[in-house]
Structure 1
Amino acid sequence: MKRFAVAAVAAIALATPALAQDEATFTGFRVEGLIGYDVVSTPAISDQDGLLYGVGIGYDFNAGPVVLGVEADVTDSTTKIAGIVSDRDLYVGARVGTVVGQSLLYAKAGYTNARLESPVGNANFDGVRLGAGVEYALGGNMFLKGEYRYSNYEADLSRHQVVGGFGIRF
């Protein structure tokens, strides 16, 4: 996990400020590709990790000194827990942030639903996701993002994720 977190921070830090010559705007519709590190925890089995990947959409607007937004994503994971496969994860929620230079710092919260697959059938788990992150404007309506997410599901299932993304605003 530490290597991925360092790589995500380095990718954001190395994004060339010269690419973002116009003032950054963090409003409007956005689409993004997501990739990251996923850790699923259950009380009976030790933490298991894997690769997370997926897509997200959202809409952000200025509300005075803050940026408010709604968002949704669908992700999948390679995480396996004792023969149980962590399948898709759906999320819908809101975020609030503030613009600092070419970056948007934000916090998010919303509903999430995870599905686990096993040889005897599938199970869905409802939960709550909390997170925080940063988007960095690259210019040309493109952005990089990095965020941390914590999801708490029913049946004592939880998930920690470190996610990076690349997106475009329309």
Structure 2
Amino acid sequence: MKKLLLLCATTGLMAASPALAQDASMAASQNGDMVSTNGTTFRGFRVEGNFGGDRFQSQGVHNDKFGYGATIGFDGQIGDRIVVGPEASLWRASEWTENCTGGVAGGSVCHKSFGELGIGVRAGVLVTPQMLVFGKGGYVSNEQRKRFDAPAGQSSYYNHVNSDGYQVGGGVEFSMADRFQGPLSGLYVNAQYVYSNYNDHTSRQRVMGGIGIRFK
């Protein structure tokens, strides 16, 4: 998984590097902010907050909760329409999330999910200079706890692990540069779906919104 992590980050940086060479083609907009020659502001470092629905699945059941997190990334442009770059994310469900089922011979088995860390690459196409449709993928690690509360005569156990896996998703993002000036010209909003699959046969789905700012 460490090799996959390094590969994702390296791929994103390599894909973004041609975009960095396009800085000479940047032109000033009417409010003095820098935009690319096709009129888009989808380039540079970005920071965003995320929030939405979280579903943790394990043992054939699921638990739905409200979740929240944050994402940092870099967007570079290739040509006039392609946007690509690396990103890292943090996510957690409110008050964590836990699935409990009955044991085969009694007792109960509870699987609890804590925070999720992810790193990967996002790539998209500019439908308009203010609208990006994107897909994403990469590596994730989820802190988990599995507990068996045994009935009388049996032994209980408690395991606390970090479960690695992969993540895929996609969404749409809108630039607010045409509505704000100055520092707020980098403001953007998005909506996305993300699926995470962990190597202990558990998974997570989330439908979330985001609001962030891009530093040009």
- Which residue of the partner structure matches residue 103 of structure 1? 131
Alpha-carbon distance, 1:45 to partner: 3.9
Distance 1:132 1:104 in 2: 11
Alpha-carbon distance, 1:55 to partner: 1.0
Distance 1:122 1:49 in 2: 22
Q: What TM-score do the two structures reach when normalised by structure 1?
A: 0.81
- Which residue of the partner structure matches residue 88 of structure 2? 72
SS of the residue 2:61 aligns to? coil
More helix by share: 2
Distance 2:203 2:119 in 1: 17
Where in structure 2 are there 5+ consecutive unaligned residues? 1-34, 101-109, 148-157, 178-184
Which of 127, 133, 140 aligns to 1:112? It is 140
Distance 1:37 1:124 in 2: 22
Distance 1:121 1:157 in 2: 15
Distance 1:124 1:164 in 2: 26
Distance 1:117 1:138 in 2: 41
Given the alignment of the two structures, is residue 122 of structure 1 paired with residue 160 of structure 2, yes or no?
yes
Q: What TM-score do the two structures reach when normalised by structure 2?
A: 0.65
More strand by share: 1
Distance 1:116 1:163 in 2: 22
Alpha-carbon distance, 1:80 to partner: 2.1
Distance 1:33 1:108 in 2: 17
Distance 2:200 2:98 in 1: 17
Alpha-carbon distance, 1:84 to partner: 3.9
Among all aligned residue pairs of Structure 1 and Structure 2, give the percentage whose two residues are the same amino acid. Answer: 36
Which of 73, 83, 87 aligns to 2:114? It is 87
Alpha-carbon distance, 1:161 to partner: 0.8
- Which residue of the partner structure matches residue 194 of structure 2? 149
- Which residue of the partner structure matches residue 34 of structure 1? 50
Distance 1:84 1:24 in 2: 45
Q: Provide the aligned length of Structure 1 versus Structure 2.
A: 148
CA deviation map 1:64-123 (0-9, x unaligned): 231111000111113222254321000000011011121111000100011123563422
Distance 1:127 1:142 in 2: 31
Distance 1:166 1:157 in 2: 29
Query: Please, which moves more after superposition, 77-86 or 89-98?
Result: 77-86
Distance 2:205 2:146 in 1: 21
Distance 1:51 1:123 in 2: 23
Which of 35, 50, 59 aligns to 2:65? It is 50
Is this contact kept in 2: 1:27–1:60, CA < 8 A? yes
Q: Partner letter of residue 89 of structure 1?
A: E
User: Computing the radius of gyration over CA atoms, which structure comes out larger, 1 or 2?
Assistant: 2
Distance 2:204 2:70 in 1: 18
